Structure 1
């Protein structure tokens, strides 16, 4: 870390650790053992187990129950989550843009997304393997932690592994 001639902070990229050949071979072997499952199939299976698509209710109060509506919801959720957009999703899946836009407008809202997330989380919490990985109150989604100096609105000490020792502010 250094300051450049203009006074801007320059942070050098982290170096990647070498992955042992055994780990690479094991990863390849395990990957070959897993069946390929299209994302749509996974979302359909997830709905069968959790009922998360039923959480997407019409803004006027109607329940989402028809197979066509569930199909449309999956297409809308994929379009939004993959940053594909409804126009490109309509081209890709054969459902008209108007149908996808209507579904998105009337069914996909903050409260329905929150309810669907909670349905999935509730199901996950009931799985037998879940408690082995902790209480579920913390996430290490990307597994990266970076030490910081000084006070920051977006950084804090990670209490589970002990706080980092205080460091001097950058000069």
Structure 2
């Protein structure tokens, strides 16, 4: 027997709710009036702001100060060792310079996740895989179509917009994420984070993270 019920079955019937509300018998931990609830939260907010102002004026915490243009929070000190700063550029110089789209193409050879990005109407695969990956990177980099076109020769905003409109949507992202998750599940290093039976959802912004960690 399914343990999942219709959401309305979890709610109190409207008639019962109205009657208990009129008789002040709801026994809720919050105000049922939006105006009263907001007034209460605003009062707490003002009290918290007053307390912060008092602490800042007394020099507590030491990294926060009040200036003519408002509060200022000092950035945290760089805890990186000087030796690490010397080694960092040397380590990066050892890595080959590879385009992000080329890395995505390599990942697609391992996983074939792009086959999940199908046409909205006919479920056909995207005709140009490289352009599809470029369109996916638009979301991952949060650049926008125009800026991505400026960095990628041989494409146009119209082509990318067409791919985004017809092939890239929540459903295809989910299916592509499943392919990546299944592939990750088979890799030996996943056992370092547990039994490998569960994994967080993979989004477009984590595609690049997956690629960089896998190729490093």
The TM-score, its normalising length taken from structure 1, stands at 0.64
Check the 8 A contact 2:101/2:130 in 1, yes or no: no
Distance in structure 2 (CA, Å) of the matches to 1:128 and 1:120: 15
* Runs of 4+ deviating beyond 6 Å: none
Corresponding residue number in structure 2 for 1:104:
164
Q: Indicate conservation of the 8 Å contact 1:57/1:63, yes or no.
A: yes
Is 1:84 the counterpart of 2:143? The answer is: yes
User: Please, which runs of 5 or more residues in structure 2 have no aligned partner?
Assistant: 1-50, 58-70, 202-216
Q: How many residues align?
A: 134
How much does 1:80 deviate? Answer: 2.5
Paired position in structure 2 for 1:42: 103
Structure richer in helix, relative to its length: 2
Contact 1:86–1:100 (CA<8 Å) still a contact in 2?
A: yes
- How far residue 31 of structure 1 moved from its aligned partner, in angstroms, is 2.0
Which entry has the higher C-alpha Rg, 1 or 2? 2
- Give me the TM-score of the superposition, normalised by structure 2: 0.52
Q: Residues 132 and 2 (structure 1 numbering): CA distance in 2 closer, same or farther, change over 3 Å?
A: same
Moved more, 85-94 or 108-117: 85-94
Q: Which runs of 5+ in 1 are unaligned?
A: 140-171
- CA-based RMSD of the aligned residues comes to 2.9
How many angstroms apart in 2 are the aligned matches of 1:46 and 1:55? 14
